[in-house]
Structure formats: C-alpha cells, structure tokens
Amino acid sequence: MSDDIYIVGGGHAGTEAAFSIARLGLTCTIITMDVDAIGRMSCNPAIGGLAKSHLVKEIDAFGGLMPLAADHSGIQFKTLNMSKGPAVRSLRVQTDKKKYSRYIYNAIKENKKIHTKKGEVVSFKTKNERVKSIKLASGEVLNCNGLIITAGTFLNGLIHIGKDTYRAGRLGEAAAHGLTECLVNYGLHSSRLKTGTPPRVLKSSIDWGKCRISTGDKEKEPFSIFRSRVDKNVNIDTFSVDTSRNTHDIINENINDSAMYSGKVTAAGPRYCPSIEDKVVRFKDRSSHSLFLEPEWLGSDQVYVAGFSTSLPKETQVCALKSIKGLENVEFIRPGYAIEYDYIPTYQLKSTLESKSIKNLFLAGQINGTSGYEEAAAQGMVAGINLSLSTLNRPPFIIKRQEGYIGVLIDDLVTKFIDEPYRMFTSRSEYRLSLRPDNVYNRLTPIANSLGLLDNKFYNKYLHFEKLCADYRKSVSSKTISFNNKSLPLDKFIKQPKNSLFSFFSPKDMVSKSSLFSVETDIKYSGYVEIEKKRANKVLSLEKTLIPKNFNYLDLKNMSSESREKLALVKPETVAQAMRIGGVSSSDITELCFVLSK
C-alpha cells in the first residue's frame, strides 16, 4: 500500500514531504518532469532571513532536510535583526545553489524508501471521495492511495519579459497542464498569482570597488546545531549598490512596456517582495533602493541581483542597471522575468493540508498561494507527515498557532483569503515572544519524537541539550551576586537588558552556548511569555470546540449575512478557526458558540 503514495513535483515542498514519509517508515515516489532538477533553487540562492529562519529551525526540530542542505552548502552565514530582541533575530544562509540541490538530490536518491519517476501527472480519479489513481501525460495510469501536489509555479505557468509571453514553469522548463483542470472538475476553486525573479549578470562586468561590502557573522552557527558542522573557512563577503533617480526615470519612461503595468498580467504579486517597477511607482519619494549582488555558487561568474525583480523588456533592464554606480558596464547572463501560475485558495484545505472534499489528497507549497522556499518546505513536511499518519490509521498531526510558526503559517492559510503570495513575518504571530529560535527544540522535538520522525542519535542530542538547560537553570536559581552593595538573585539581575549569563558561565561548545542562551532568553522574556500563555489558554477551549463537517451556517438567522457566507465558504474545523476568519465579528462567534452548545 505504501508504494502507492505519490508526490507531484521535486521542489522544496515535494522533497520535504518525501523525506517525512520515509522517516515514518513508508515508501513514496516523486514524479517530476525533470529528475535532475530535484531540489533546485529557482530564485534567490539563500535560505532563511527574516521570520523564514524560524520556519527552517522548526523544520530542523522535526528532523527535516532543508536545514541540513542549507548548512552543507552555506557560503555566508549572517544573523539579521541583531539590534533587536532574540525573538525576531533571523539567520540567513547564502548558499552555493548547485551544492544545495546536489545535497537534496543525493539525500533523496540514497534513501531506499524514496523513488523518483520522470513524468507529468495530468489528472487523478477518486472512488468514494478518495484518490484512487493518477494519470500521466504518457497515458500511464497508476494506482494511488495518497497524493501530494507540490507543483510550484508550473501549473499553466506563463513567463512575461516585456511584451513577450510564453508558457513555462520557470525559465527553460515546460509548464504543466491538466492538474488544475482536474482539481476544478472535482469542485475545487482555482485562481492566479504572480511572482518574479531578477536578472543574473556577469561577475567580471561589475566594478566591485564601487560596491558596499557586507560581511558574514564572525562566529557561524548552523540551522541544525545537533546535525551540522559548518565549514569555518567559507564565509564570503557580499555586496550591494543603490539605484538612482536616473534609474527610476528609465523605469518610469518604459513602465508601459512592463508586463505588470501594460495589463498583460492581471494576477496579484507579492506585496512584501515587490518588483522594481512597483518600488519606483509606489515609493515615488524614495531617491534610491538597495540592490544586493550575490554569487549563485562558490566561484560563480553568475551574480543574482536581489531587489530587481522585474518584467521589463531585457533592453530596459540593461539600461536601468547600467545607470547604477558599479554596474555601468554590466553584462547580462539572463534577464529577469515575471511568471503567472495557478494556485488553489487554501480555505479549501484542512489544517493537515488535506483537501476538505477529497480524502488523501494534500497540497503544499506555491500551489497553496505561498512564496518562498521555507514556507514550501514547512508545508511539504506537514503534508508528508499527515498523509503517512492517514495511511497508518493514526490521528492527524496539527501544529497550533501557539506551538510554532508552522502552525501560524498553516492556520493563516486555511482561515484567511489569500489574494497575494503569502510570506511569513514574525508580526503574523501573536505568540512571537514564545516562538523563538532558541527554544525551538524544547517546543517541538518531543512532538517529533512521539510521531516517530527522529532517530536515536538526534533525540539523544536533544536530551543532552535539555539537560544542559536544566543544569544552567538550577545554577542560575541558586546564585546571588553583589549589586549596588546589595545581594541580588542572579535571575533578577539578568532580567536587565544589558546583563548576560555569559559573564558568569563559559560554555565550551556550540550546543552548550545555545542552551545557555536559551536559558538567558527564557529569564529575560519570562513576564511576557506568561502573558502569552494566558492568552493561549483562553483560546485553547475554542480550539477544542469542533464544528460538524456539514454544519449549515445559512440557518443562523441571528448572524450577519457576510459572516454566514464566509463561514459557509471556508467551513472552519473549530470555533477558534472561525474566529480568525476576516469579516466574522465577535458577536457572530458568540451566536455560533450558542448554537453549537445546544
């Protein structure tokens, strides 16, 4: 039976799903149009960054694949938001994209429980509202007991460069057809989104002496402190430049040639990762915008121009970049482009990422309206775990909002109306002081172990980490210091912002340092965390209040028509989910609770 589990697509969501399924003892097959493209980084050559690193750390706590690949291929490790509190600091790892995809490819190929098959899934069939078979473009039909669709931007993908448009999933790769139409035929609603990527330019054509330098962390710490060892000799510098008024004038003069401004692209793009056209138009008062020049692999002649995502004609892209100091003689390897693709609005999914209408059909990644490798990998992991649990007749696995950013991500997807590519921010979580990278193992690793996702080596390292934390807590609670001629408990002294436990303890290795930092941060945030716990406990009863699957909201005459319509469309699984749907008022939630209590 387990050999009849299929994953459509071998990107970040698909590979993480496969890795989860294999760790739970089942076998699966990744079906992809290009087996050599497994794990490919389509856009920026980096993992992590603001809030996204929180997702990667949580994937690591579950024993996932992405953090290992990032650590293995990292060429610059840089912690962002260092001027802010530990809860919002974020590790960003600039990677060698070739080494990254090779690591993923080898991990998949070497795993005896994961198979790969070249092909394109164009449709599936169901029996008794459950997936029973899939059909490939070749005409081959395969029995299927579980299907995870992780199609990325390939579903009816359209690439736009200026006035030129052609069908593709990404540059140089064919689009996929049939699956969207199949999903729609089974009653699921689909829509369109847009994303983009910047040009790649020749390293030797850049005047590096005119660029600003950006160095990595002096002490590199990997995403996976239990499983990774980073190369201390590799931590390259990266560089940045600024656009100018002249650059903006060139873009404005040619704005109608941009596919996004000519009316050719009607789908919504990522508001928080705007194209250079959007930056110039929306922020007219800005005299410049920063662009970041990042090599795509170690020793690469190909440089990624981060911050210059565009659908302008190639000649306009070249002209605009040549107006920038340091890029006067820039030469292109390939232009930037925009891509439109199909996605499935996620109110149609459960918190497990299973379809509400078709059993054992799961969706993960950009097909769910998200942007980013990290969001995709997190969804793939959850989908893979839940399909496995369903196959094994075990209860489903759901990370709650108060347990992790992955829980925030998925809860937002299934309760909100996604009308632009969704990306993670720490501000999306009402529990962000509790959901920190430093306490991720304490929060999630016991859950991962109870599911059977971890090997003994990983879990024993976690137990060692937890013992170190307990020992440090005990030592701190028993220590007093002399401060302003008074005796003061050390834990009270540490609560002051500038004071640190590292002045009193000298941890020798990375795991010891991480455990001490976690204890220190727990102490500093303890008051705020207690407030968040009380808030979480108030919501907990609503999380446990289930709503019947076929509940008829249209019969609730004392509820506003807007709330009835939105609740009927989304079909929330719990009262807490209903409460988080935009446009549903607190008085309408009270009415819902009253009816459910009868």
Question: What are the residues facing 30 on neighbouring strands?
Answer: 7, 116
CATH number of 455-544: 1.10.10.1800
What pLDDT score does 1 carry?
41
Are 385 and 353 contacting, i.e. CB atoms less than 8 angstroms apart? no
CATH, domain range 553-596: 1.10.150.570
State percent of the chain over pLDDT 70: 99
CA-based R_g, the chain, Å: 25
The residue-averaged pLDDT of 151-177 equals: 91
- Say if residue 422's pLDDT is above 90: yes
What is the value of pTM for the model shown?
Answer: 0.94
Give mean pLDDT, residues 2-16. Answer: 92
Can you give the pLDDT at residue 484? 81
Contact 388, 20 (CB under 8 A): yes
Cα–Cα distance measured from residue 257 to residue 460, given in angstroms and rounded to the nearest whole number: 59
- Residue 49 pLDDT exceeds 90: yes
Kindly report, residue by residue over 462-500, the tens digit of the pLDDT: 999 999 999 999 999 999 988 888 889 999 999 988 899
Q: How far apart are CA 392 and CA 1, in angstroms?
A: 10
Q: Output the six-digit token pair for 135.
A: 């059909």
Q: Average pLDDT of 426-436? A: 93
Q: Which of 5, 260, 33 is nearest to 147 (CA)?
A: 5
pLDDT confidence of 590, banded at 50, 70, 90?
confident
Residue 412's pLDDT is 94
Measure the CA–CA gap between 491 and 579, rounded to whole angstroms.
38
Please check the confidence at residue 272 and state whether its pLDDT lies above 90.
Answer: no
In order of 18, 46, 153, 491, the CA distances from 9 in angstroms are 10, 21, 10, 50
Out of 366-370, 393-397, 569-573, which region has the weakest mean confidence (pLDDT)?
A: 569-573
Which whole number is the average pLDDT over 284-304? Answer: 94
Q: What is the DSSP letter of 571?
A: -
Q: Write down how long the chain is.
A: 598
List, as one string, the DSSP characters of 485-548.
TEEEEHHHHHTSTT--GGGT----SHHHHHHHHHHHHHHHHHHHHHHHHHHHHHHHHHHH-B--
Q: What mean pLDDT do residues 452-464 have?
A: 97
Distance CA(388)–CA(407), nearest Å, equals 19
Largest CA distance in the chain: 83
Strands (E), 144-224: 146-149, 158-161, 164-167, 191-197, 200-202, 212-214
Task: Enumerate residues 6+ apart whose C-beta is below 8 A from 43.
Answer: 195, 197
Q: Indicate if the pLDDT at residue 405 is higher than 60.
A: yes
Average the pLDDT over 177-204 and give the result.
96
Q: Percentage of the chain with pLDDT > 90?
A: 79
Q: Is the pLDDT higher at 579 or at 103?
A: 103
**Residues 296 and 199 sit within 8 Å (Cβ to Cβ):** no
Tens digits of residue pLDDT in 515-558: 999 999 999 999 989 988 888 887 777 888 899 988 999 888 88
pLDDT, mean of residues 63-69: 98
Number of H helices, E strands in the chain: 17, 23
pLDDT of residue 3: 62
What are the E-state strand segments in 99-190?
114-118, 121-127, 130-136, 141-143, 146-149, 158-161, 164-167
Answer for the pair 61, 441: CB distance below 8 angstroms, yes or no. yes
- Residues 6 or more apart from 486 whose CB is under 8 A from it? none
Residue 2 pLDDT: 47
Q: Where are the domains of the chain?
A: 455-544, 553-596
Residue 204 has pLDDT above 60, yes or no: yes
Q: What are phi and psi of 409, to 5 degrees?
A: -55, -55
SS3 438: helix
The average confidence (pLDDT) of the chain is 93
